[in-house]
Amino acid sequence: MTSSRQRKKSISRQTVIAAPPIRSKGKPKQERPFSELPSVALAVLGAVSFLFFAWIASIVYKVTPEAVAIGNSLPFGAWGWKGYWLFAILAAMAIAMWGSWTLASRCQAVIVERYLK
């Protein structure tokens, strides 16, 4: 037989699990445009994005020429799963480079527009 304390715990756990999600009743939060961010936030975001770009670029520029040379010397079917994964990772890193460079250049453009024009 269960005690009243154990029944209360099990009932409260069931109500917590079955409770619907709480929604705010106020106005929905409006997103601010990128150009309305504070200058300090833009500078920090741009600097971090540029440093990430430089770090990824140094890796990609060191690895890609050698990987392409090895890939060209072997037929496509002889690469194996390691070769496929290597080129997939290099492609993902190139996309990350593009995204971080785009973000850094947008931060720089907003700061230049704000202070130098």
Question: Mean pLDDT, to the nearest integer, of 89-107?
Answer: 95
Encode pLDDT of 25-56 as tens digits.
Answer: 767 777 878 888 899 999 999 999 999 999 99
| Of residues 116, 114, 115, 97, the one with CA closest to residue 34 | 114
Q: Do 10 and 82 meet the contact criterion of CB atoms below 8 Å apart?
A: no
